[in-house]
Every structure is written in structure tokens, then in C-alpha cells.
A and B are shown apart, each in its own frame.
Chain A
Amino acid sequence: MSTVRAPTPLLRRLWLSTDARRLAACVAGGLVLAVMTGPEGSGTAPTSGFTGSLGNSRVIGFVVFGVVLWLLMTARQRYGTEIRAVSDRLSAAPRRLLPDKRVRGVFYLVLLGIAIGYPTVLNGFWQEVLVDQIGVYVLLALGLNVVVGYAGLLDLGYIAFYAIGAYSAAYWTGALPVHPLFHLNAFYAIPLAVLAAMLAGVILGAPTLRLRGDYLAIVTLGFGEIIEIVANNLQGVTGGAQGVIGIPHFSIHFLGVVYHWGLGSLPYYYLLLGFIVVVLIAFHFLENSRVGRAWVAIREDEVAAESSGINVLKYKVMAFAIGASTSGLAGMVEASKIGFVEPGDFTVQLSILILVLVIFGGMGSLPGAVIGAAVLQFLPQYLRVHPLFGFQQQDLYLYLGAILVVMMIFRPVGVFPSRRRKRELGLAEHGVGSADAMESTTGPIS
């Protein structure tokens, strides 16, 4: 910049401009996405994947996507503060519209009323989606939110506890090749399944939660794999790769009340809704309890938490076990609803998916976990019925990845962040940490 040079050629000038380079990257990204989500090539026509997806009107949508992304990024750079102010105001709006506790209580009751009433007018397909895709995943997201959002532990094998819940259901109802200690009605096996998942959480957590960050992620990743492989190969116990069938539906015979869950989705939906409401209330109180404050402290600075006399390991194991038991509960309910379990239901991809749901909604935020899971699980189903841009189910993870990348750029705290997380974002944006740089230029002089 100091010396005046001969005029640079246009191409070089373009290359030197960040905006142009970024535009190129965005459009290229869009094109890659188009190819990856387009038709597949075949042995006889290996290039047909390319030509089929690039020589097609579909590609326009992806180029537009790339340009829009670039516009968003550029706008963010130029008008970042303004955009942030608007988005903060929008996400704070619900809280400001409902300042009064009682008004908020009524609002939640209305929401609950809708959650109870609305599904009855849906058709069977959507009722099933509500249970299998939304209800179960909301529960899963709520549980992982405790681990990742509250305690700040990265658990990449979360689905393993869901598997343990599901296989416990199969075990206690006698559906597995091995015979249980005693037969139980599926409904009464729920506490045992939850307990099994929780115990697994404690057994895995107690030794590994001493490890820091990345190591924990690796260990949990491995644990998830182990559970899947064991389920696949321990034929005599788990039924192997075919899985097990014949897990009975729930039923209650209690104090004169007799009820059988059957093939219909709606009764399972209401059961799940009940569990979700209980879990929401419990986690809400947990978040604001001594335990919740210990989790915040651990998440913020483990050493400082230890120096404040917090039993870090205990609270980490607690978060891990609470998450695990929630996951086990979800697995138990789903196993009884569909009546079978198979190892293919417990891939690492699902652990990642649930993590995405939590991150999308806003880590550490209960509404975030619920809304994040509901929206992200609803959309693919909706697109399956009403395809847009030739949406294909097998490309789901690609789009989820893209959403995550975009989220991390524009709104890393998630759609519905907790108040605390928002403060974290605010501080990061204002460069806390560099705040004391000025002072530290004066070294220790005596």
C-alpha cells in the first residue's frame, strides 16, 4: 500500500478483493452442493452425475443460493451491528411481549392446549411424524441439551443411551433371545430402562469425564460405536443385525384404570407429550438450581469452578447421567411404539443429528431445544411431501451441514438462545479478553 505501482490487471484486482474471492467461493459451494444433491452417475456413464445436475435448470437455484449467501456475508460485514441489533430485538420480543409471569403461564397453557388439540385434526401420516420424528427427537434434544448446553460436555455417542433404553424395553418384555429375570409389562419397564441408561451414563462418565474437552468427544464417539457393534454382533443376546421384533405396546392396569396403547400414533403422542412436559418442568427447575449454577460455572471455567469448591466431576457425571436417562426414555418409548429395535437405528449420524438440533435451537435453552428439534425434524418430512428444488431425503445431512455452517456464521448462539448464552455472544462480539490488553502492556515494574 505504501508505494504506487503500475495498474494491476483486472483479474488480479478481482483476486485481491476479498468480496470477489468470497463470491467465487460461495458460488462454487453452491455448485458443489448442486452436484452432490443431484442425480448419481453410473458405471456406464460416469459423468452423468455432473451433466445431470449442472446442465439442468435446477442449478440456478443453487447459484442463487451461493449469491444470497455471499450477499448475507457481505451485508453482515458492512452492517453487522445493525443486523445484530434487529435480530436481538426479534429474539427478545417474546420475552418482552410476555413480561408478566402470569401472562407467560397462560401463554404456555395455550401452547399446551394447541399441542393437545391440534394433532387430532391431522392425518395418520402427520400423527406418526409427530411421534417418531418430532416427539422422540424433542425428548432426545432436551436430554442432550443438559449435557452439551448446560454442562458444556461434547457427547458424540448420545444415541448409545437411546439404544440401551430400547434394548432394555426389549429385554424386560421378553422380546430378546435372552430371558429376563422377570417379565414386565412394557409400561412398568420404563423406570428400569431409564435406570439402565442412567447407569450406563455413570459408568461411562465417571472415568472419562475427568478428561478434558476433545478427549471426552472421542471417548463418547467410541462408546457409540461399541454399542452399535455389540448390538450387531452379539446375536444370542441382541438378535444381531436383524434386530428383535415383538416388543409389546404399553398398557396400564392400575387401580381400576385399564388402557392399552395400540397401533395408533396419537396415544403415543400424548404419552410423549406428557414426558416432555415433565422433563421441561424438571429441567427448568434444575437450570435455576444450585446444580444449574454449578454447570454454568464448569462450562465457563473449569479451573475456576474447582477453585470455588465445586465438585466438578460429580456435576459432570450428573449432567451426563441425566442426559443418558432422557435418551434411554426416548428409546424405550419408541421401541414400544414401533415394536422392534435394530442396530441400524443407532448410528453415529443420529448422535450428530441430535447435536445439530440442539445447536440450531440454541445450546442451553429449553425453548431452543424444543423448537430446534421440532422445526428441523418437521422440515424434511414436509419436503418429502412437497419437494422443493428436487429435495431428496438422502441429501438431508448435506443440508443440515449447510444450515449449521450458516448458523455458525450468522447466529452462533442458535435461534432461541438462553439469556446467558446471548450474553456470551455479546461479550465475544465485543472482544472481551482483549479488554485488558491495554493494561497488561505495563509489565511488572517495581
Chain B
Amino acid sequence: MLLQLADLEVRYGTIPALKGITLDVGDGEIVTLLGANGAGKTTTLRTISGLQRAWRGTITFAGTDLGHMAPHEVMALGIGHVPEGRRIFPRMTVLENLEMGAYRRRGSIRPDLDRVFGLFPVLGERRKQAGGTLSGGEQQMLAIARSLMGQPRLLLLDEPSMGLAPLIVRDIFAIIRQIRADGTTILLVEQNATQALRLADRGYVMENGVIVMTDRAEQLLRDPRVRAAYLGETAGAGG
């Protein structure tokens, strides 16, 4: 297993947000974490990357305990995090944004730039443009491209489809598939359950800070409870 969360508990003050999460991601997998608003998906990702402290439980990445690591140390181990709400640097140009993604690296970033401009041609066209002037979809692409510049082994994606038009979501999901094919493992948080499950190998469903279900993605896609809760169908009506 590349990433393992064991019995992870996180609290905001005294209020528990994660109540004992056990989850794992194998090398080369796409795993999706589904759940309604407030279920604790973002908290899970933030805790993995050290932006949030765990109250109890362990996080192991490639055999290393991430216990008390600061975010930059976690990134240095090879975890990229594309935060919720596409947090790009709005006043930096596209190119500067990408350079920031490679901040911790020495040596030439030329090949990586070529690679992300290959994945996202639109970013290549707009490399001199300020990040904040991009459309929402382009900003999301920039956020993903920026974290790829750090050459992560594992990419944490927090709702990359949020607020985007269906056509753009389709593009982005296709690129996620490509990123995995290029050798990066992916943990994908989504509310957009159908598309996420079509893309993923396995899925976890989260409610109120606990994992309520886990299975192979195509099983979850067929599960009446999942369909009822996340795919907008009433139980039993699906077929």
C-alpha cells in the first residue's frame, strides 16, 4: 500500500470531524472518496498533507509515518495536494504558478513544463497571463498542473469538478486518467459521484466523519444505497 490511514481522528476544537477513518490507496490506483458536503473529505486530505493535525491514528506513506510532519515535508516525500476551490496564485502568471509548484526542486524544470503543457495545451497558450484572469476550468487545470510540477507519487485532488461545466469536467477527468497512466497514484475527492466512480478503481463513501461503505468502483456504481444517496435516484428505482 502506498498510503494508509488507520483509525484517523481529527477534531476542530472539541468537535470531531473525522471519527476513525481507515482507508488505503495502492500504488498506481485511482481511489475516490465520496460524500455529501461536510462529510469530512477535505479534512481527510488536509490531514494527509499536514495542513491539519490528527488527534489520533496514523498516516503512513510509502512506509513513512507522516505523524507530525509539516506540509512542506509531506510534499517533499512525494505527495501533491490540489486544494479545494483551486487555490492558484491569482496575480502570478501561469508560468510563475508552475514554477512555484517546482519550488522545492533543483535542476531543470523544462521537461516538466513540456509535459504539463502537453497535458493542458491551453495553459501553454496562456503562459504569460495572470492566473486570476483564467476561466474556472483553466484555473483548475493550472492547479493540477502546478502540483504535477512537484513530481508527486501520489496526487490528492479535492473536488476538481466543483463549479465547472460538464464538458470541462469531462476534460479534466480524462486528464486525471492520463496522469495515472503516466504513473501517479490518485486519491480523488468528489461529490460528482457517477463520473468519479467511472474513473476510479475503488471508492469509499463517507458520512459524518466515518466511512460507511467501500468497494470496487463498479460495485458502488451499482449499489442501490449509493445510487439513492449520491446519484439522485430513489432506492430500488435504479436498474
Contacts and interface: CB of A to CB of B under 8 A. Distances in A.
A413 B202 CA distance: 50
A300 B71 contact: no
Interface residues of A, number: 34
B68 interface: no
A289 B169 CA distance: 37
Interface string B43-75: 000000101000000000000000000111001
Interface string A275-299: 0000000000000001001101100
Interface in B72-125: 72, 75-76, 80-83, 87-92, 96, 99-101, 103-104
Interface string B131-150: 01111110100000011001
A114 B194 CA distance: 71
Given A293-B103, A435-B132, A444-B192, A423 B91 contact: yes
B103 A309 contact: yes
A422 B114 CA distance: 30
B234 interface: no
A311 B91 contact: no
Contacts of A296: 89, 92
A83 to B, nearest CB: 22
Contact of B130 (A293, A313, A427): A427
B167 to A, nearest CB: 9
Interface in A289-335: 290, 293-294, 296-297, 300-301, 303-313
Contacts of A432: 90, 130, 132-133
A427 B136 CA distance: 15
B164 A309 contact: no
Contacts of B193: 446
B135 A436 contact: yes
B165 to A, nearest CB: 4
Interface string A224-245: 0000000000000000000000
Contacts of A311: 70, 72
Interface string A408-446: 000000000000100110010010110110011011111
B179 interface: no
A300 B89 contact: yes
A427 B100 contact: no
B141 to A, nearest CB: 12
A308 B146 contact: yes
- Residue of B133, B139, B162 with most partner-chain A CB within 10 A: B133
Contacts, number: 118
B166 interface: yes
B193 to A, nearest CB: 7
Contact of B91 (A300, A308, A435): A300
B135 A435 contact: yes
Nearest to A422: B91
Contacts of A442: 164-166
Most buried by B among A304, A305, A307: A307
B89 A304 contact: yes
A427 B91 contact: yes
A144 to B, nearest CB: 21
Nearest to B197: A446
A303 B51 contact: yes
Given A296-B92, A446-B192, A308 B139 contact: no
A309 B72 contact: yes
A443 B163 contact: yes
B133 A293 contact: no
A433 B90 CA distance: 9
The 3 closest A-B pairs by CB, nearest first: A436-B136, A309-B75, A440-B163
Given A301-B90, A303-B51, A312-B72, 17 more contacts: A303-B87, A305-B100, A307-B81, A308-B75, A309-B71, A309-B103, A310-B72, A310-B103, A420-B91, A427-B91, A427-B130, A430-B133, A433-B132, A435-B134, A435-B135, A444-B164, A446-B195
5 contacts: A294-B103, A303-B83, A307-B147, A423-B91, A439-B168
Interface of A: 290, 293-294, 296-297, 300-301, 303-313, 420, 423-424, 427, 430, 432-433, 435-436, 439-440, 442-446
Interface of B: 49, 51, 70-72, 75-76, 80-83, 87-92, 96, 99-101, 103-104, 130, 132-137, 139, 146-147, 150, 161-166, 168-169, 191-195, 231
